[in-house]
Each structure stands twice: as structure tokens, then as C-alpha cells.
Amino acid sequence: MSALFLVFLLFSSASGGTNPASSPDPFTAGVSLNIDCGGAANFTSEFGRAWVADRYFSAGATGLVAEPHRFLQQQERTLRFFPPVSAGKKNCYSVPLPSGRYYVRTFTVYDNYDSKLRTPSFDVSFEGTLVYSWRSPWPEAAARSGAYADLIASVLDGAANLCFYSIATDPPVVASVELAAVHPLAYGSASTGTDMILINYGRLTSGGTLFGPGFTNDSDAFSRVWQSDADFRSLDVPIKALSAGGHRIFGANQAPNYFPVKLYETAVTTVNPSDALEYLLPVDTRLDYMVWFHFAEIDSGVTRVGQRVFDVVIGEENATRIDIYKEVGGFNAFKWHHIVENLTSTTLVVKLVPVAGKPIICGLENYAMVPLDLATVPRQVMAMQALKESLRIPDRMGWNGDPCAPSTWDAWEGVTCHHSDNGQNLVVTQLDLGSQGLKGYISDQISLLTNLVSLNLSSNSLGGTLPSGLGQGSLVSLDLSSNQHTGGIPDSLGSSNLKVVLLNNNQLDGQVPEKLYSIGVHGGIIDLSGNKGLCGVPTLPACPLFWDKRGLSTAGKIAIGLSCAFVVIVLLLIYLFCIRRQNDDYDFEFPQDLISIAAKRNRYQRQKLMLVEMEAPNSNGFPSTSNTR
């Protein structure tokens, strides 16, 4: 989608809300969040709205406007900016929110916060769709005083992603972000679906002044702000402002749009009965627009059908004829909307042409209808987020938000995307991250990149084993050279469509799959040098006995298994023998009485022997010197 330029609301602000809470109906739960970008502390504004300190950002730095005294609201004075050199070209606020439909408002200001006297150029996307474009130089009023922009869109994945994309080397900037849940059926979403973003090109109150949460104490269920129609109404037609004069207005503040009662308490009409009320609304001819009209018969002098009738002419089309009293009677809110297509001018002319009486209007809204851009396949987003963590991608590469969307932006640095085969999504086809100083490992989630054709992670400091998911059938070129990968080469690499495989200068080991090596035989390119542990194919050493691929071969494992079984059997036999031996042992200890008899017998024999020795000559032929008895 081409760039859009915002219709700026140039006024001071305040806003707030409560912390987001998990709920199946965020609107009923009152989910809202107001972020003071660059702010360091929570606070409550003078209108009672709660603001939280800066959070949920991907990177960047904080700043302060050059002339803070000119900004009445605290959240307008601080800001966050994203230098592309350190934060990357793409940065995001990723705000956790329950799925639902939301009103999103941002405040953007420059005010020479960086002392460079040059407003930056950048784009803004919401949920992967380009919504605003800022181009230098900004209008003077926007540069000095800031500008508000708002939209209504669906959040379907549990997080609202508001992203900023640098043009050239300019740092994007934002001062505040506000999000508030709206009714899921608001603004005709039942017919337009959830894949449409409504960007405000003018939300006007006729005959009244600026009002809405954050600006006045007036309420609006969606936190919408309504500005005076004076800057959009043709000045060639004299008008008269009307007021309900204290009469109660019925039919306002009702589901699903909850238009505030205050909107219908004022109106404008023409002074001359023959004049038509005319509005000049800025538009982009490349888009369709949803225009909402708000009426209430608040002139007590109109009391019957047909007294005030006028035609609504949009562009060159006479869209409808309105008789408010016929539709709803007096002092009742009446709403009508129309979709405008095929515009040829950058100004949409809306006229209320009198048929009977003078035309009257209470308010007008003009929304650009921007279809959601194609998004990356969700599973591939998961894979890329996992790789961001495992590869330790530095902030300077700007890996934030959707890897491929918006399609008009460059994808993440080093990432190439294409349309899916069915044309309904974007897919990652190439990762070129060589020489980026990466120090992590390759996540197994890479297997979810089923459209990946080329992967280059060479000349980094990546470690760990190679995941089997690298063998996806789409992969043609793989360069993991000059890293610190360990372990074996997965068999899955041999079953892919690889034509180029560069695994040289790593720490891989084990037997090389034959199918992988055959890539070189069939005309492809393969380099396995610099891996001392690889073996089993020509140009590499033979694998040791019983070695196969990542370790022991099947035969080796069987041999070890048999050996272990033999040892276990031997140990079991020894154990059984010992058990049996213990059960058959006899007690050979002599009874004490037998021991006593034997001892006496031995004593008698020793005494007899001594007498014989005394009576006989000794062995040397000399008579014994012992005395005879």
C-alpha cells in the first residue's frame, strides 16, 4: 500500500485509562491503556486519566521537547525516538491486549528536540499495515505543536503492534500512545470485517467546540475526540449555530457506536434558505472512505414531517434525501453513513442541499478504509521470533513486529520475503546473516520456515548442534561455514534439495551422510573441510571401527550390547552360585564337652612324651642333665 498522509488535529491533549485486563469482551471490561512515551513515572492528568510510564517498546531513546512550557499536558513533553544506527530501521510498541476492536491514538511532535532543526521522515504501521507517513519538512504547526492521529482497528493475536520505520537515516519519533477497546460491531464491522482499518480523516462537531476524553470532562465511550468543523466547512456560506437549549436528546450513546449525547446538542444550519451547507474533506484517491453523518432536529420550530428536507450530495452523487423529523421526530439522534469509492480528487465535497427549509447537521466523520496488508504466515512469525532469541539478534538489526509486513517496507534486515503460493500471506524465503557477530545457536523452530530457499549464517560465532529441521525440502543453499557448530550432520540434510552446502571450518564430527556428500558428485557444491571429526567419505579419513554418522554404528552398538549382556549373565551366575553356597553350608564347630575331653587327652599325651624323653640319652650321646625322679 502506498504511503498515506494524515489529516492532523492540531491541539493540546490529555488522556488515560486502565491497565489492560484479560477478558473475552475488552470493551465491556473497559480495557484501555495510555502510554507516556519517554515518560519515567505514572501520573494522572487533570482530567482524571491515568498514564503509565513508557513501556512495551523494542528499543530507542528518550527525549524532551525544546520548549516544554508550550505544551499543557505532561504526556506531550516527553518522547521516544528510534535512531536506526543503534535501534534498527524498524521499531515497535508491542502492547499485550485481549483480542478485540480498538481505538488507537498517537501524538507526534518534533519541536527541535534533537537541536538539528530538521523534522524526520518515517512511516507508521498498525498490525502490519501502513497507516501514516511523515515526510520532511512537516507543516510548521505540526512540527512545533505536534499532531494527533487516530484509527479504529482489530487486534486478533493478543498484542497490538504499532511500528515505526525509518526513511533513510531519520529517527522516527512518538510522544504518546493511547488504546481503548470499542464495541466489536462498531462502525459497520459486521459488513466490513475485521480486516479493515478505519483511519480518521476528520471527526467533526458542528456548532460546538473541541471535546472528548483527555481534552474536556465530556465523556465518550470510545475515547474519541471531536473537533470543530470550522476548518472543514466552506467559508463562502454564512451559517448559524444552533443549540438544544437544555432539551434532552434521545437515541444517543447506544450500541454499537455509542455516539456521545453532546454531539447532538449543537448543530449548524444556513442563514439563507437557498444555500447549501458544504464541507471540504481531504482524501487520498487511492482509498475508499466511510462517511458518517449525525443529525438531530433541535430546532423547536420544526414540528412536522416535510418541514425540513434536504439532499446529501457526496462528490457528484446524490446519495440520499433526509427528513429528520420523519425518521426520528424531534430531539432524537439520527445517524446515517455512506461508503465513497473511486475518488478522482484529493478533496471530497459534501453538500447538504435544501429541498424544504434549511439543511442542518450536528456532526460528520470521515474514515479512510484501509484493508489489512498481507501478513507473514503465523507459524513462520513464531519461527523468526525463536531465531531472534536463539541467534541473539542485536537491536541494531531492527527485528521487531512482523518479519515481512508491511509489504511496502523492507523486511527485517537480512530477511527476504515473497507472497505465498495462494497469495494470501507472506513467507520467509531467504536469511542472509553472514558476518553479523551472532553468538547463539540455531533454534529447532527453523523447521517452520517451510519456504526457506537460502540460509547464510557464515562467519559468526554460532555453536550447538545442527537441528534436523535444516533439512526442509525448500532449502537450496546452506552456508554455515566459519562457526563453532558441534556434533554430527543430521541425515535430513541429505534428503533435501540442497545444491550448495558449506559447512567448512566448524567442529563437526561423525560420519557424513552419503546423500549429502552426493551433492558434490551430482554437480553441486559442498565443502566440509576444517572439521577434524568428520569421516567416512572420500577426501575425509575413514571412520573408526564401529563408527557411523554421529557415533557408534549399528554393529558397534550390537557388539557393545552383547558384551554388556555377557557380563550381566556372568555376574548373575556368580550371584546365584553364592546364594546356593550359602544355603548348603554346615556348622563344623565342636561341642564344648568334646573339646574338653580332647584337651585332657592331649595334656596326658604330652606328659607321657616328656617322661620318655627324660629317660632316653639325648641325641648328642650325652646323658641328660635333668634330675631323674
How sure is the predictor about 24, in pLDDT bands with cuts at 50, 70 and 90? low
pLDDT at 517: 86
Look up residue 114 and give its three cell numbers. 534533537
What are the residue ranges of helices labelled H in 370-463?
Answer: 378-390
CA dist list (Å): 341 to 253, 279, 282, 315, 420: 29, 18, 14, 10, 29
Per-residue model confidence as pLDDT tens digits over 434-453: 999 999 999 999 999 999 99
Question: Among the listed ranges 66-80, 81-95, 574-588, which one has the minimum average pLDDT value?
Answer: 574-588
Residue pLDDT, tens place only, 257-267: 999 999 999 99
Query: What percentage of residues in the chain have a pLDDT greater than 90?
Result: 75
The mean per-residue pLDDT over the stretch 518-543 comes to: 88
How much is the average pLDDT of 216-237? 95
Q: Is the pLDDT of residue 558 over 80?
A: no
H-helix or E-strand spanning residue 416: strand 415-419
- Does residue 594 carry a pLDDT above 50? no
Question: Quick one: pLDDT at residue 573?
Answer: 74
The pLDDT score that the predictor gives to residue 628 is 37
Q: State the span(s) of the chain assigned CATH 3.80.10.10.
A: 378-541
Q: What mean pLDDT is predicted for residues 423-444?
A: 96
Mean pLDDT score, 494-501: 85
Q: Is the C-alpha dihedral spanning 428, 429, 435, 440 positive or negative?
A: positive
pLDDT at 557: 65
Residue 282: phi, psi to the nearest 5?
-70, 140
Rounded average pLDDT over 73-99: 96
Residue range 312-328, pLDDT digits in tens: 999 999 999 999 999 99
**Is residue 502's pLDDT more than 80?**
yes
Q: What is residue 547's predicted lDDT score, i.e. its pLDDT?
A: 53
Q: Scan for cell 512540527, then name that residue.
A: 143
pLDDT at 539: 81
Residue 297: pLDDT over 50: yes
Mean per-residue pLDDT for 539-545? 82
pLDDT of residue 540: 86
Structure confidence at residue 264 (pLDDT): 98
- Give mean pLDDT, residues 211-236: 95
Mean pLDDT, residues 497-510? 94
Domain with CATH 2.60.120.430 in the chain: 1-182, 199-373
Radius of gyration of the CA atoms of the chain, in A: 43
**pLDDT score, position 193:** 86
Per-residue pLDDT at 22? 44
**What Cα–Cα distance (Å) separates residue 117 from each residue in 114, 136, 144?**
8, 11, 11
Top pLDDT among 365 and 25 is at 365
pLDDT tier for residue 545 given thresholds of 50, 70 and 90:
low
Whether residue 596 has pLDDT greater than 60: no
CATH architecture of 199-373: Sandwich (2.60)
3-state SS class at 49: coil
pLDDT of residue 392: 97
Closest CA to 201 of 4, 6, 3: 6
pLDDT in tens, 370-408: 999 999 999 999 999 999 999 999 999 999 999 999 999
pLDDT mean over 299-304: 96
For range 223-244, the mean pLDDT: 96
Predicted confidence (pLDDT) at residue 606 exceeds the cutoff of 90 = no
**Which residues, including other chains, have CB under 8 Å from residue 38's CB and lie 6 or more apart?**
54, 62, 63, 64, 78, 79, 80, 175
pLDDT band at residue 221 using 50, 70 and 90 as cut-offs? very high
Average pLDDT over residues 15-24: 46
Task: State pLDDT tens for residues 563-589.
Answer: 777 777 877 777 676 666 555 543 434
In this prediction, residue 625 carries a pLDDT of 38
pLDDT for 118-164, tens place per residue?
A: 999 999 999 999 999 999 999 999 999 999 999 999 999 999 999 99
What pLDDT is attached to residue 560? 67
Q: Does pLDDT of 20 surpass 70?
A: no
What's the whole-number mean pLDDT along residues 323-344? 97
CA distances from 172 to 121, 128, 165, 212 (A): 7, 17, 7, 28
Q: What is the mean pLDDT of residues 579-607?
A: 49
Is the pLDDT at 597 greater than 90? The verdict is no
| CATH number for the domain formed by residue range(s) 378-541 | 3.80.10.10
Please enumerate in sequence order all residues whose Cβ is within 8 A of that of 89, keeping only pairs 6 or more positions apart, or say none.
Answer: 165, 166, 398, 410, 413
Confidence (pLDDT) at 472: 85
> How buried is 444 (Cβ within 10 angstroms: 0-12 exposed, 13-18 middle, 19+ buried)?
middle
Mean pLDDT of the residues in the chain: 88
C-alpha cell at 480: 554455515
The mean per-residue pLDDT over the stretch 354-382 comes to 97
* 608 pLDDT more than 60: no
Residue 611: what pLDDT? 44
Q: Is 2.60.40.10 the CATH classification of the domain at 1-182? A: no
